[in-house]
Structures are given as structure tokens and as C-alpha cells.
Amino acid sequence: MKKILIVLMTALLCSVTAYAMDHSEFITGPFEDASAVTKACLECHEEQADSFMTTPHWTWTRKQSVNGKEMELGKINAFNNFCTTTSSNRVHCSECHAGYGWADESFDFTDKTKVDCLVCHDTTGTYHKDGDNSGWPKEHVKLDEVAQNVGMPVRQNCTSCHALGGGGNNAKHGDIGLVLDYPDRSVDVHMDADGNDFQCQTCHVTENHKITGANMATSPDGYNLISCEQCHDAEPHSESVLNSHTRRVACQTCHIPVYAKEDATQMDWDWSTAGREEPPEGIDGKVVRFKRSTGTQTWKTNMVPSYAWFNGKSGVYLMGDKIDPSTVTKMAYPLGNISDKTAKIHPFKIHTGKQVYDTKNLYFITNHIYGEDGLWTTYDWERSVKIGMETSKLPYSGEFGFAPTEMYWRIDHMVAPKEQALGCLDCHGDEGRMDWAALGYAKNPLNR
């Protein structure tokens, strides 16, 4: 309780200082372009730019231990189960780079004037970046008005990218949709806009632009992981049976009974149908959707999570790793098992798909999807595959096919009111949601 109080007090203090700082006194404009705004910010905040430029929001990479070896990994070279890779698609992907003009490898990562301060610090809700110009804001944005109204980030700033990646609202995470801009208590007890109203930084504690939290795909080493125990005790329940669960069961498991509340999330992306002029069978336009550019996608709401052991670290598929196309390749998956004492049973979204791969070299292809020569424009697999592989410099045999994939996503948000937390029988009942055998138990651990 004390911890909660301290967090709330700090949050309050921070918010007071943030709102007290009226920038309209010293920011006048007009601004020629967004980079001119950054120059104005730098007049007082040069150090902030320096520290920001060391973070993955700018570099899109971080040195870490991945699958047992030291390497650089981030959005810059990761493989995911959605648009797959950024390498040849920068102009599009940079919509969510906190910078201006990263179109290709010539981008200057030392140029402070290209930092996008506004995407995180706009408080008007009118700042928007475009998907077709390497991260510059849309033309209609009133830069002077936005610049005069900067402040501490609110949920809406973070969701502008983190809720919209992967092809639409809540596509990727499942537990981070635009509903978190202003959620009710039933959606998330912490972020409840009329209640606790936590901002993202309340839990993702931030210092010098370094934001804590670890996404499985880009931080498989679990660096800067955050936990419920930053505020809650390790034994938070009044019931000892419940407290005895916390050693092996993550808080999220009982307290997030469903994800994808209100906004549907993408559960499957089958790239193999992309390019077809006629939609395949079974498309209803709502749950199962088809577009010639992207192929077939399945979208669902109110999903029961999948459960697996998780010790905070993950394994990932890396560019060039060999696959067996007759089995499902895991693009990101949790590490840990029943005998790993640091692991807990944790909820996940498992996103499935079919991705293009090199049938001779047996690895996934870094496809070129965006731009006038990309798949989304030409619908020509041969051509886009070739360009994509040339850009990433991965040898290409000349033959491609499609192989099944899956990708795990941690479920951490959309914490339900406690009345809705799982009860004993939700897991231990005859129709319980746990697959005990898959978790490594001989039988339902209630029946000893």
C-alpha cells in the first residue's frame, strides 16, 4: 500500500510540473518543417536529445544476448509474424521511428535535428505521422500549435505506435489497442480514465528517456523487465492459498482472464494468398479478411490467453536461421519450464501465420512489400522477393514457398477488476483452461 502511495504521489508531482510548463511563451513558430521544431527544442534540451539517441526508440537496436550469443538485435533486423522485416521497407516502417527521414541506410543517426520530439510529447492529439514518407508528420499538422503544447507523454502518445503496429488497431499485442487511450475500469483497472488513470510511465518507469519494459521479439534477454511487484507485495492476497500460487503463477494469469477487449486483435496472417485477384474461400470481411496486398488475416475479440512457462527471457527466429517447413517455426517464444524455478505460468497471445521462405536454402525471406516495386503495389512475389533479398544480402536460391509460423506475445495489459479474476475452477475444474500436460504436469495439480 505504501509503495502504491509513493508511486501515486510521484505521478501527481510529475504531472503537476509537466502541466505547469507552458511552452507557448518561448515557442513561437512558424516552422518550416518538423525538424525546425526539433531545433527549437534543442535550444534548451540538447542533453535530452543525447540521451534519447542512445535508446532503441531511436536506434531500433540494442546489444544483447540472443539464443545464447551476443549480438545487436532490434526492429532494425528482427523477424516478426506480421510485415516480417523492416530492411527494404524503411520508408513505410519509419512511420513509427521517433525520427525524421530514415528512408534507407544513408540516414544519419548522429543528427539531433532529426529526432521527433513531438510524437511522444504532443498533448493536442493532432500530431500524426504518415506511412509513406519515412516518419515525417502529415502535411496538415499545425506544427506551431503542437510545439506550443508539448508536455509529458500520455497513453495516447504511446498507443499511436504501440497500438497500431502490424496492420491496424490492436493488431499485434492483443492487449494494447486504442481502447487504452481512455479505457473504463472494466478494460483496465490501472488505466481507467475516470479512476486510477495510470499513464504508461507509471509502470514503465522512465529516466532520461530510457523506458523500462521488455518486448519478447526485440528484447529476448528480458532487459529492464518490469513487474507487478514494483507496487504490489509478493503476497498480496488475504487468502494463503492464493498467495502460495504467486511463486509459480504470474499475476497476469489470473488477473487478465481475456485480452482483445473491445478492439479485435489479429490472430493469423496467411501471406500465401496475397497477390491473388480472387479472394480465397471463407472470407467474411469481419473475422476473416482478405486483401490482395496482404493476403488473409483473422481478427478476434475477447480472447482467452494461451499459457506457458516463462522466466522473462525469450527465444527468437533470426534472419538466416534454418527452418523445417513441415513444422511450425516459432518467431518468438517464452523460455522456461516446470523445473525452472525462476519460471512462472504466464498468459500469451499466440499469433499464427504462413510466411514466404526460400525452398532450397530453407530460411525465411526478407520480402520487399512497400513502395512502387514492392509486393503491395506489384502483387508480384517473384520480383518483390528478389528485391527484398538483395537489400538484406541474404542469398536467394530463386525458389520460394510458404511455411507455417507462430509468434508469442506477452499478455500484461487489460488487467480486469478483481471480481473478474479467475477462480479456482477456471483452471482446476473439469473444463479448466489450463493444458496441464503441455505445462509438464502428470495431472491437474489440484488432485494430488
Q: Which residues have C-beta within 8 Å of that of residue 17, sequence separation ≥ 6?
A: none
Residue 61: CA atoms inside 13 Å, Cβ hemisphere, count?
Answer: 12
Q: Measured from the CB of residue 186, what is the shortest distance to another protein in angstroms?
A: 13
Q: Return the residue of 5, 32, 39, 125 that touches another protein, per CB under 8 A.
A: 125
Q: Which residues have C-beta within 8 Å of that of residue 144, sequence separation ≥ 6?
A: 27, 28, 29, 30, 31
**Binding mask of the shown chain, residues 145 to 184, with x at each position contacting another protein by CB under 8 A:** x----------x---------------------x--xx--
Residue 417: name the closest of 259, 189, 260 by CA.
189
> Judged by CB, which is closer to another protein: 287, or 328?
287
CA 245 remoteness from chain centre: 28
> Judged by CB, which is closer to another protein: 180, or 365?
180
Question: Which stretch in 68-76, 124-132, 226-234, 241-249 sits in contact with another protein by CB under 8 A?
Answer: 124-132
Q: Measured from the CB of residue 184, what is the shortest distance to another protein in angstroms?
A: 9
Q: Return the residue of 142, 330, 383, 433 that touches another protein, per CB under 8 A.
A: 142
> Judged by CB, which is closer to another protein: 142, or 237?
142
Q: Does 144 bind another protein (CB under 8 A)?
A: no
Q: Does 126 bind another protein (CB under 8 A)?
A: yes
Q: Measured from the CB of residue 195, what is the shortest distance to another protein in angstroms?
A: 13
Site size for another protein, by CB under 8 A? 12
- Cα 177 to Cα 188: distance, rounded to the nearest angstrom: 12
> Judged by CB, which is closer to another protein: 123, or 366?
123
Please give the DSSP secondary-structure letter assigned to residue 248.
Answer: T
Q: Measured from the CB of residue 92, what is the shortest distance to another protein in angstroms?
A: 19
DSSP E strand stretches across 80-130? none
Q: Measured from the CB of residue 165, what is the shortest distance to another protein in angstroms?
A: 16
Cβ–Cβ < 8 Å for 368, 88: yes
Provide the 3-class DSSP secondary structure of residue 206. Answer: strand
Q: What is the DSSP string of 330-392?
A: EEEEE---TT-TT-EEEEEEEEEEEEEEETTTTEE-----SSTTSHHHH--HHHHHHHHHHHH
Q: Does 185 bind another protein (CB under 8 A)?
A: no
Residue 156: name the closest of 123, 131, 197 by CA.
123
Q: Measured from the CB of residue 130, what is the shortest distance to another protein in angstroms?
A: 14
Q: Return the residue of 15, 59, 124, 420 that touches another protein, per CB under 8 A.
A: 124
- Contacting another protein within 191-230 (CB under 8 A): 193-194
- State the cell numbers at 426: 477456471
Q: Measured from the CB of residue 156, what is the shortest distance to another protein in angstroms?
A: 6
Residue 348: name the closest of 409, 389, 414 by CA.
409
> Judged by CB, which is closer to another protein: 266, or 273?
266
> Judged by CB, which is closer to another protein: 140, or 322?
140
> Judged by CB, which is closer to another protein: 159, or 252?
159
Q: Does 140 bind another protein (CB under 8 A)?
A: yes
> Judged by CB, which is closer to another protein: 158, or 249?
158
- State the cell numbers at 31: 516552422
Beta bridge partners of 357: 364, 401
Q: Measured from the CB of residue 185, what is the shortest distance to another protein in angstroms?
A: 13
- Cα 191 to Cα 154: distance, rounded to the nearest angstrom: 11
> Judged by CB, which is closer to another protein: 140, or 448?
140
Site of grid cell 475477447: 302
Query: Contact residues for another protein (CB under 8 A)?
Result: 124-126, 140, 142, 145, 156, 178, 181-182, 193-194
